[in-house]
Amino acid sequence: MPTLPSQVRIIEVAPRDGLQFERTTLTLKTKINFINQLSKTGVSNIEVGSFVSPAHIPQLADSDNVFRGITRNNNVIYSALVPNEIGMQRALAAQADSIAVFTAASETFCQKNIGCSIAESLQRFKTVIATAKCNGLWLRGYLSCAFGCPYENAVPTTQVVKLAKQLFTMGCDEISLGDTIGVATASQAKTLVLQVSGVVPLDKLAVHFHDTRGQALANILSCLQVGITRIDSAVAGLGGCPYAPGASGNIATEDVIYMLNGLGIKTGVNLKKVITTGHYITQQLGRHNASRVAIAGIPDWLQNES
């Protein structure tokens, strides 16, 4: 087997990317409890909320108060999704450690998702990025539909490479390649990461797989084999896929940690605590837990290693 990294960072996206696709809107108190629990699991990054228009994503309308209400762990980076300068100012007021901007590798998806062209989205980022840099914030760039688009089908690799390079050149500290509709397969995932690593250093790249077609763990493993060390995941597999109703959303953090533990790759994340947190939030949401590991449990003989 090719060399695997010895250590990986887990970017926990459930409070933002997960909850924004859930039908149930949680109370402020539940969101704060949820993030406080996640903060004690050992994950290094938590995406707390989003400063897009509250009318656009009502589930996250209280992100300002969520940030104010949580108990911060100094070992965790708390981030927020920011679409424009207004959102940036809210992120600063809320004392986010990091912000994320988002665009897509597909023109049609970008138009439908954020109502502008890819070029216009990059133009909007310029002021946001400048403000973020002035204030010393870590900056993540999301590239959606990097592996396929619900409208344009296959997305040319050259387009993904070009946009990843632009985001990096503009000042993003990290680029997350998103498989928004969960169509990627292991060979494609590895090939795309290798191509993008020609323009963005591997340690600045994250992968964001949805488990829509059950391929996410295989995709993550193949990306680990070519040197990826940053993985996005959501506890209990929160989130859905608006383009495939009823299908799974983000890969579950529990399942990723179980695989990484088995590979001897360190994450600093306590699997039992993540499982407990996943059960808590699925109870609050009244939905099933999409983590296979959470449902089946940790085998007795692995309990001490988790």
Task: DSSP for 109-167, please give it.
Answer: HHHHHHSS-HHHHHHHHHHHHHHHHHTT-EEEEEEETSS-BTTTBS--HHHHHHHHHHH
Using the contact rule CB under 5 A, the part of the chain among 97-105, 117-125, 246-254, 279-287 near Mg ion is: 246-254
- Name the segment binding Mg ion (CB under 5 A); options: 73-81, 98-106, 136-144, 244-252: 244-252
Residue 212 CB, nearest approach to Mg ion (Å): 10
CB of 303 to Mg ion, least distance (A): 30
Closest contact distance (angstroms) between CB of 256 and Mg ion is: 13
Token pair, residue 93, equals 């007021």
- From the list 13-21, 90-98, 153-161, 298-306, the region that binds Mg ion by CB under 5 A is 13-21
If binding is defined by CB under 5 A, does position 17 make contact with Mg ion?
yes
Rounded to whole angstroms, the Cα distance separating 170 from 46 reads: 23
Binding residue (CB under 5 A) for Mg ion from 233, 250, 253, 282: 250
Q: Decide if 140 contacts 172 (C-beta within 8 A).
A: yes
Q: From the CB of 21, what's the least distance to Mg ion, in Å?
A: 8
How far apart are the C-alpha atoms of 296 and 58, rounded to whole Å? 33
Question: Minimum CB separation from Mg ion for residue 209, in Å?
Answer: 8
Closer to Mg ion by CB, 17 or 255: give it: 17
Say which amino acid occupies 108.
T
What residues does 141 pair with on adjacent strands?
A: 101, 175
Alpha carbon distance 107, 149 (integer Å): 9
Site string for Mg ion, 94-133 (x = CB under 5 A): ----------------------------------------
Question: Which CB, 91 or 241, lies closer to Mg ion?
Answer: 241
Closer to Mg ion by Cβ: residue 121 or 298: 121
Q: Residue 241 catalytic?
A: yes
| Residue numbers 197-236 binding Mg ion by CB under 5 A | none
- Cα gap 130→20, rounded to integer Å: 27
**Piece of 44-52, 116-124, 245-253, 292-300 that binds Mg ion (CB under 5 A):** 245-253
d(CA 203, CA 117): 28
Nearest distance, CB of residue 234 and Mg ion, angstroms: 7
d(CA 176, CA 232) in angstroms, rounded, equals 8
Closer to Mg ion by CB, 47 or 62: give it: 47
Among residue numbers 264 through 283, which ones bind Mg ion (CB under 5 A)?
Answer: none
Q: Reduced to 3 states, what is the DSSP secondary structure of residue 251? A: coil
Closest CA relative to residue 191, chosen from 160, 151, 217, 152: 160
Binding stretches for Mg ion (CB under 5 A): 17, 250
Residues catalogued as catalytic: 241
